[in-house]
Amino acid sequence: MIRRPGAALLLAVGLVAGCSSPRPAPPAAAPDLARELAPKVTAERMMSHLRALQDIANANKGTRADGTPGYDASVEYVAKALRDRGFDVSTPEFDRVYPVSPGKPTVTISGHNYRVDQASLLVRTPPNGLTGQPVRPIQPTGCAVSDYPATIPPGSVAFVNDVGCSVVDKQNTAVAKGAVALIVITAPNEQAAAPTLFSPGYFKQLTVPVAVLDDSGGHALAQATTPVRLVLDAENFKITSRNVVAQTRTGSPDDMIVVGAHLDSPRNSPGINDNGSGVAAVLETALQLGPLTPVNNAVRFMFWGAEENGLNGVMDYVFGLDRDQLNDIAMYLDFTMLASPNAGFFTDDGDQSGPPGQGVAASDVPEGSAGIERVLAGYLYLAGKRPADMPLSTRADYHPFMVAGIPVGGMTTGAGQSKSTVQARLWGGTAGAPFDPNFQTPRDTIDNINRDVLAVMGSGVAFAVGSYAQSIGGVNGVVPHDKRHRARLP
């Protein structure tokens, strides 16, 4: 949905800087930090970062993908730039799993094959599988040794339900009784599995083959009197990756503005628009703001690893926060692909005025997201660009923040979607062609960057950061700290 400009919207943007939080504030930020910061994030400064990222890709087989030397070099480039500016920088590690082969994980019960999911991502059965007598504990949760009979046949395959405790606890209990493998039976649809069944990093604690079988297979397993054969042959390997984190030393840490962009490229691409452009804009905003500028609300800059293969870096971060840490985050601002050659000018649809994204309901969008969208849309109007809605997605970096109840917002210039005739009349460019024809290809190089668009969008990143570093109150503000009631994610 394309919005129309209006004086009320522009007035609303101005109110972000004019209203203050009801909580006591540290020394006041500059009266109009947003307008001071925005013009400092120039195309040439951002292009210098993009040239550096291109050089890194050139030196590393054309990619900066997670798990490659090109990604490690990208981390070091961003971290050094921030440290040279005076920021305290950390690069926390996290593990993710990279799939090599899906295999055909199955369990054979009384001569019939049932497909299973391989929960033990790093542990497989022998090539021809393993065979054992199925054993069900007396208490089907299998969470305690006392749940099982006093003795079970050596080399048994234990099978349990999916409630009561984590899969790691279920495995450890089964192994303590002498089982060599575990099958977890999923509950019927009307029942809920234990929310902590698969906790973050669970796969690193599984030491024997563990499978997940649906309820129909579970019925067959419960009736089996002869040994079953389990084949878990999906092949994966573990990659240790890093995020990059830097935060201002000024401003309230209880109302933190988190700003992020994903740092890794696709595996076959230098990733200069996707997402070097977002990285360059967020990095240059951090460098121009600096760690010591007086702000009312602290700003934390995040550069995510392992995004291209499932939001691993951002999920590791958000799922690792406790209740108080989640409540201390006022909002999350996300910036992806800010220099598409056939660009559109999109704001994430925080007010849900456009068609909803797949898997996202209006009730899923945290309060305050609409105000963030108004600030970003208002900036684009001031820059002479008509904004349009980008539907919120479950596959975007902001999604874990949404799930945690944190307001989100951001901008993009479009990816592989085709530009419509109406959009071409509105923004120029070629109707019927993708916003970025080189999306996730080896051609996403420095030559793919629309410099004029980058200038507009990069300044918009700085405008939003400056606005909310001053104040999270007003008509475009977010819920104050004392009204946030978030819970740690399972």
Task: State the virtual CA torsion across 210, 216, 222, 225 in degrees, nearest 10.
Answer: -90
The residue from 76, 190, 284, 307 that is catalytic is 307
Provide the 8-state DSSP code for 180. Answer: S
307 labelled catalytic: yes
Question: Distance (Å, rounded) from C-alpha 427 to C-alpha 450?
Answer: 13
Q: Confirm if 246 and 92 have CB atoms less than 8 A apart.
A: no
Instruction: Copy the structure tokens of residue 421.
Output: 């005739």
Pairing of strands 252-262, 329-335: parallel
Tell the residue number behind the tokens 């981390």, with chain if given. 75
Q: Confirm if 207 and 123 have CB atoms less than 8 A apart.
A: yes
Neighbours of 430 (CB within 10 A): 13
Question: Distance (Å, rounded) from C-alpha 260 to C-alpha 244?
Answer: 10
Neighbours of 178 (CB within 10 A): 15
Question: Distance (Å, rounded) from C-alpha 227 to C-alpha 417?
Answer: 52
CA distances, 359 to each of 225, 392, 437, 438 (Å):
42, 9, 26, 27
Tell the residue number behind the tokens 């085709």, with chain if given. 418
Letter string b/e over residues 95-120, b meaning 16 or more CB atoms within 10 A of that residue's CB:
bbbbeeeeeebbbebeeeebebebbb
Question: Distance (Å, rounded) from C-alpha 246 to C-alpha 83?
Answer: 9
Neighbours of 157 (CB within 10 A): 27
Provide the 8-state DSSP code for 273. Answer: I
Beta strand segments in 91-215, E: 93-101, 106-109, 112-115, 117-118, 130-132, 134-135, 157-161, 181-185, 210-213
Q: Which residues are catalytic?
A: 307
